[in-house]
Structure 1
Amino acid sequence: MAQLEIACFNLDSAIIAQRNGANRIELCDGFEVGGTTPSLQTVVKAKELLTIEFYVMIRPRGGNFLYSEEEFEQMKTEILQFQKLNVSGFVFGILNPNNTINKIQNIELVELAKPFPCTFHRAFDEVENVFQALEDVIACGFQTILTSGQAQNATEGMQRIAELVSKSNNRIAIMPGGGVRSSNSALIQQQTKASWFHSSAITDNTVTANPNEILALKSSLK
């Protein structure tokens, strides 16, 4: 059975996701920039309210995925802070100026996060050589890659996602994300053979997940 992760930009979404069958939550802030690190207060509250796994986004700001030394230190501090709360895992990704994977910094964060698993987020969709990047992310120790297949959304990127699933050969989970909805999730699963799927399940102009959409996503995935 395929697994469903819901990107939650507030605690209401997290509760909705849990109640309606999500397997995991990606907790973040900054909806307008595609996700940033949530506040400590939000993570503390989430730990009180959630019984399913939740991964915390570690991203100091929107924009590119090159970070200053100060921003990198902030990312390390946040990982250590959230580790103490016993969250389930972390989501981050750092690139080099030439859009390759910054192995040195990513390895440092993955090692710091242990024993908690890490997902490399959609910074992956900006890399130049996607298959070299796949090998680099695996070498860094990540357990999951969130990707739209370098397209605007996962539907347009299905072929590339399928190639990544094949080349990963079960060494890392390839998780389609970006425009994944109940209306296209079955097709994406059929075409890519992915086992994890990522969606915000937002269907209106709010930033809160729709419970009916989560239920429909769950029922669409085999």
Structure 2
Amino acid sequence: MLVEAYVDEVATAVAAERNGAGRLELCGPGEGGLTPSAALLAEVMATVRIPVHAMVRPRTGDFVYSAAEFAQMEREVDLVQSSGCAGVVFGISRPDGRLDVPRMRALMVRARPMRVGVHRAFDRTPDPDEALEELLELGVDVILAAGHAPTAEDGIPTLARLHRQAAGRAVIMPGGGVRAHNVQRIIRETGVPEVHARASDIEVFAELVRAAHGVR
């Protein structure tokens, strides 16, 4: 069982690694996480040994981006790649909430050979099954989701169905309200191999990791 830690500073990244995180999602400060700065990327990459996936998100708010914002995302993908990160995380929506597949494909081509994850823009799509098939066709590696619900625990039935639908072609990674008290239920009832949680309170995060690894 891999626990990915959401981190936005060097000290938290180090503490998350020390307390059992298997991978980091590195973000800059901002509601929901923004693209980390070049300095933060460099310092984290010089400090930790576990894989790092960096967020590419130019602003807070929705995931419908202008031409200028998309061009910024292209440059930010290049920045993440040059930093040596193992992966990049992004998501782009159309005004109707569906995924902007052509733009996401363009970023994926630019990002390879890094792994590619999609953030919770997926949860804002009107049809999760259609969105999943689009992402599988693109070749996305990891999809962060709460099952189109307020929290991953609330979304267990949908997460379980998506995990079966993905059938190993991509990882469905529950995130959103994942805690020590519910992580075992989430893992058991969905069958997923990875979960995602904030590491801002390292004691709470460490307890979650212990619980996740205790699933039998």
Question: Where on the TM-score scale, by shorter chain, does this alignment land: which range?
Answer: over 0.9
TM-score (ref. length: structure 1): 0.93
**Larger mean Cα displacement after TM superposition, 103-112 or 76-85:** 76-85
AA matched with 2:164: S
| Residue of structure 1 equivalent to 2:208 | 217
Report the Cα distance in structure 2 between the residues aligned to 1:167 and 1:11, rounded to whole angstroms: 36
| Residue of structure 2 equivalent to 1:73 | 71
Report the Cα distance in structure 1 between the residues aligned to 2:55 and 2:155, rounded to whole angstroms: 23
Report if aligned partners of 1:8, 1:209 keep a CA contact under 8 Å in 2: no
Alignment of 1:43-122 (within 5 A): 43-122=41-120
Indicate the SS of the match to 1:5.
Answer: strand
Shift of 1:219: 1.9
Q: Summarize deviations over 1:136-167 as a string: whole Å, max 9, x none.
A: 01112210100001111111111111110011
Report if aligned partners of 2:176, 2:197 keep a CA contact under 8 Å in 1: yes
| Residue of structure 1 equivalent to 2:186 | 188
Report the Cα distance in structure 2 between the residues aligned to 1:192 and 1:177, rounded to whole angstroms: 12
Report the Cα distance in structure 1 between the residues aligned to 2:195 and 2:27, rounded to whole angstroms: 17
Indicate the SS of the match to 1:187.
Answer: helix
Report the Cα distance in structure 1 between the residues aligned to 2:29 and 2:147, rounded to whole angstroms: 23
TM-score (ref. length: structure 2): 0.96
| Residue of structure 2 equivalent to 1:142 | 140
Report if aligned partners of 1:17, 1:209 keep a CA contact under 8 Å in 2: no
Report if aligned partners of 1:154, 1:188 keep a CA contact under 8 Å in 2: yes
Shift of 1:22: 0.5
Percent of residue pairs identical? 34
Alignment of 1:37-48 (within 5 A): 37-48=35-46
Indicate the SS of the match to 1:84.
Answer: helix
| Residue of structure 1 equivalent to 2:154 | 156
Aligned length: 213
Report if aligned partners of 2:142, 2:170 keep a CA contact under 8 Å in 1: yes
Shift of 1:213: 2.4
| Residue of structure 1 equivalent to 2:24 | 25
Stretches of 4+ aligned residues off by more than 4 angstroms? none
Name structure 2 gaps, 5 residues minimum.
none
CA RMSD of aligned residues (A): 1.0
Q: Summarize deviations over 1:165-185 as a string: whole Å, max 9, x none.
A: 011111110000001011110
Report if aligned partners of 1:150, 1:160 keep a CA contact under 8 Å in 2: yes
Shift of 1:98: 1.1
Report the Cα distance in structure 2 between the residues aligned to 1:73 and 1:26, rounded to whole angstroms: 22
AA matched with 2:45: K
Report if aligned partners of 1:107, 1:141 keep a CA contact under 8 Å in 2: no
